[in-house]
Amino acid sequence: MVSYPVEIRRCQHIKIGGTQCGSPALRGETFCYYHRQYRPLKVECYSDGEYATGEIVLPEFEDATSIQFVLRQVTQMLLQKRIERKTAGLILYALQIASSNLKRMEAEKPRPTQVVVDPETAAETPIGMTPWSASGKGHDPEEEIRADSEKKRTKEPTFSDWQREQERERDREGEEWRAQQRASLVRDPEACGSPAGGEATGNETGRGAGAP
Distance CA 112, CA 20 (A): 14
Is residue 61 pLDDT above 90, yes or no? yes
164 occurs within a structural domain: yes
Per residue, the 3-state secondary structure of the chain, as one string, reads CCCCCCCCCECCCECCCCCECCCECCCCCCCCHHHHHCCCEEEEEECCCCCEEEEEEECCCCCHHHHHHHHHHHHHHHHCCCCCHHHHHHHHHHHHHHHHHHHHHHHCCCCHHHCCCCHHHHHHCCCCECCCCCCCCCCCEHHHHHHHHHHHHHHCCCHHHHHHHHHHHHHHHHHHHHHHHHHHHHHCHHHHCCHHHHHHHHHHHHHHHHCC
Q: Is residue 53 one of the residues assigned to a domain?
A: no
Do 17 and 63 touch, CB atoms closer than 8 A? yes
Residue 77 lies in a domain: no
Residue 199: inside a domain, yes or no? yes
- State percent of the chain over pLDDT 70: 77
pLDDT of residue 13: 97
For residue 67, the model assigns a pLDDT of 96
The pLDDT tens digits for 83-101 are 888 889 999 999 999 999 9
Determine, yes or no, domain membership for 171.
yes
Domain count for the chain, please give it.
Answer: 1
pLDDT category, 59, cuts 50, 70, 90? very high
> What pLDDT digit, counting tens, does each position of 158-172 carry?
556 667 777 888 888
Lowest-pLDDT range, 19-23, 80-84, 91-95?
80-84
Does some domain include residue 194?
yes
Q: Which residues contact 164 (CB under 8 A, 6 or more apart)?
A: none
**Confidence (pTM):** 0.62
Structural domain contains residue 129: no
Domain range for 187 is 159-210
The answer to whether position 184 is within a domain reads yes
